[in-house]
Amino acid sequence: MIVMKFGGSSVRNAEMIRRVLAIAASRLDSAPLLVSSAMGKTTDALVLIADHAECGDRDSAFSLIERLEQSHLAAARELVAGERGTGLARAIGVLFEELRSLTQGIFLIRECSPRSRDAILSFGERLSTLVIAAAARESGVDAELLDARTLIRTTGDFGAAAPDMESTSRLTRDQVRPRAGHLYVTQGFIGSTPDGVTTTLGRGGSDYTATILGAALEADSVEIWTDVDGIMTSDPRVIPEARTIATISYDEAAELAYFGARVVHPYTILPAVKRSIPVWVKNTSAPDAAGTRIQAEIGGTGIRALASKSGITLVTVQSSRMLNAYGFLRELFAVFDRHRISVDLVATSEVSVSMTVDRDVDIASILTELEELGEVSVEREKSIVCMVGRGLFQKAGLLASVFAAIDPVPVRMISLGSSDINLSIVIAASETERVLRALHAQLFQS
């Protein structure tokens, strides 16, 4: 059996949903399970609805709800006719009344807890899959809609819940019986606690849902269907010459995802790795294109792709206490640990340590503690440009070619990880696109 995940751009309207169902119908012999994101920008709208209600702007919140309802009803009318269409419209109406009730409650108390926000955000996937399953049946496909909240069991960390893989696997195997000719449809992104409270896996979590379910069902493959032909050598919006990578390893794909490649979610790879399930990235608008296969191991060495992560802050702590001493790094990173701040890159010398953190981190909250350890400098508006590949230690001239390509842009920090798959540089954010173009031309086009 296969798991097929379709992103929001792939199900944004009736025309795209027809395309999705045509792809799914062509794979019925493989007993597919279809995992869908919310339609188009629905999740963004739901975030705004929650924000408006919490701020007391009921009119704006309910106006957005009305627009969402009309867009979903329009897609439903175009896809499903007759009694089925009437029933689908009624079911959509029930969900929107539930959404209005929840939004009204948030408006009245002027507070949107993480639990309530997850409940609000779940409506996008619940609505899209309701429409998709009905449209599949209308087209003659034997389709069955499953509520992912009865499959994906999670912790109660609302907004970024972690799956309980043992419980999820048991629940999924109990309810899903893959068979040729039958299409299961379920939601990405959402799950529930053991008490049945709705949770979300974090933005982009539909990819994660697909591989969680793929691992639970020991799928032959997981397919991530999106709006590009696969994982590219760089962002095609910046580098029009970027090309599709035919195959890439799990760890390389995970590095690219973490450092800015938007094709797959950073956590997507984890369940697939444990089960050695290949993950395909394919284009909904070009289903015959080869796409990219993500697998355990691949041969060859060299850089396979570039990615960038903007909005980076560089923190440097300089102290003579480090010289010929031990325990300093433990004290330093204990500060970040206490404040639950994640560090991306680290570079050290005898008397200083430099670290990168995301822009939205509250550095001010830890400055006092850091200043007890040494002199602190903070540099904002930086970017990480990441070069991912294999055997980078073995390329004697790699650093020379990188610096030659980006000259005269100054590099503030460099990191060649111990994993031998990631060479990262920190530069001014304003130079990101220029550096990406220069590196792509040097590494892939020359």
Q: Is the peptide bond between 163 and the residue preceding it cis, with omega within 30 degrees of 0?
A: no
CA dist 111 → 58, 99, 214, 322, 420 (Å): 13, 16, 37, 47, 47
Q: What is the pLDDT of residue 269?
A: 80
CATH fold match for the domains 2-226 and 303-445: no
Q: What is the pLDDT of residue 43?
A: 96
Q: Are 153 and 168 in contact (CB under 8 A)?
A: yes
CATH for 2-226?
A: 3.40.1160.10
Nearest to 258 by CA among 121, 356, 402, 378: 356
Q: Kind and range of the H or E element at 318?
A: strand 302-318
How many Cβ atoms from other residues are within 10 Å of residue 417's Cβ? 15
How many Cβ atoms from other residues are within 10 Å of residue 85's Cβ? 17
Locate tokens 């990406």: which residue? 436
Q: Are 283 and 227 in contact (CB under 8 A)?
A: yes
CA dist 215 → 105, 176, 278, 364 (Å): 38, 13, 11, 42
DSSP SS3 for 391? coil
CATH classification (class only), 303-445 = alpha beta
pTM here? 0.87
Q: Where are the domains of the chain?
A: 2-226, 303-445
Q: What is the pLDDT of residue 417?
A: 65
CA dist 300 → 249, 261, 375, 394, 422 (Å): 11, 22, 44, 11, 15
DSSP class of residue 178? -
One-letter-per-residue 3-state SS of 45-77: HHHHHHHHHHCCCHHHHHHHHHHHHHHHHHHHH
Each residue's pLDDT, cut to its tens digit, for the chain (446 residues) gives 999 999 999 999 999 999 999 999 999 999 999 999 999 999 999 999 999 999 999 999 999 999 999 999 999 999 999 999 999 999 999 999 999 999 999 999 999 999 999 999 999 999 999 999 999 999 999 999 999 999 999 999 999 999 999 999 999 999 999 999 999 999 999 999 999 999 999 867 899 999 999 999 999 999 999 988 899 999 888 999 999 999 998 888 888 888 877 777 767 888 988 888 999 999 999 999 999 999 887 877 788 999 999 999 999 999 887 776 778 889 999 999 999 898 989 998 888 999 999 887 888 889 999 999 999 999 999 999 999 988 877 777 888 889 899 999 999 999 886 667 889 999 999 999 999 999 999 999 87
Q: Are 61 and 69 in contact (CB under 8 A)?
A: no
Q: Are 261 and 231 in contact (CB under 8 A)?
A: yes
d(CA 238, CA 335): 37
Q: Give me Rg for the CA atoms of the chain.
A: 24
For the record, the structure tokens of 117 come out as: 């926000």
Q: Are 255 and 422 in contact (CB under 8 A)?
A: yes
Locate tokens 């090309």: which residue? 243
List Cβ neighbours of 220 (8 Å cut-off, separation of 6 or more). 1, 2, 30, 277
